[in-house]
A and B are shown apart, each in its own frame.
Chain A
Amino acid sequence: AQRVTQPEKLLSVFKGAPVELKCNYSYSGSPELFWYVQYSRQRLQLLLRHISRESIKGFTADLNKGETSFHLKKPFAQEEDSAMYYCALTVRPNSGGSNYKLTFGKGTLLTVNP
């Protein structure tokens, strides 16, 4: 079964400090990893996906298959980064076919203090 673990429920940093939100996963197949973000009073939205290998709003995430991790990082946090962050996983079974079930972690609430 696929599982996503976000060990930190809450993370608080000061503006300008580096931030890392941790995500570990377990899978049986070829994983595709995502980070979703939900700002206050807004809907859940995709932040980035590992296959894109891009930086969004200064955030990056590298898939480490050896450690089964997909940590989200930003070198200098901004107050507007305060939000709920969810790591999510889709697994495509080796046997073929498709399984687009998106499995979410429990989320980490990031607070960036001035």
Chain B
Amino acid sequence: KAGVTQTPRYLIKTRGQQVTLSCSPISGHRSVSWYQQTPGQGLQFLFEYFSETQRNKGNFPGRFSGRQFSNSRSEMNVSTLELGDSALYLCASSLALGAGDTQYFGPGTRLTVL
């Protein structure tokens, strides 16, 4: 079974631009979560989707948004990019949102903002 895929793998943008990242979950998984990882930090939770609905949102500004499609694929968008948005953005999928549902991660998208 194919794993979680993320596109693109690398991205370079300039301040003020916007960016869209894509995530395809493992087949059959209906939940997708997004995380930001910066140097020295753990994984910071961005948002979580299940059945096209945002179920949880982390403590990030409104410039960060996301959505999930009917085929469970998900996108996240960052508008008006800032230098501090440079990070590894990770997507994870799980069967559902239950307590025992393990999240499986994709390889990430490395975003560099110049």
A binds B: no
Q: Which residues of B contact A (CB under 8 A)?
A: none
Interface residues of A (CB under 8 A from B): none
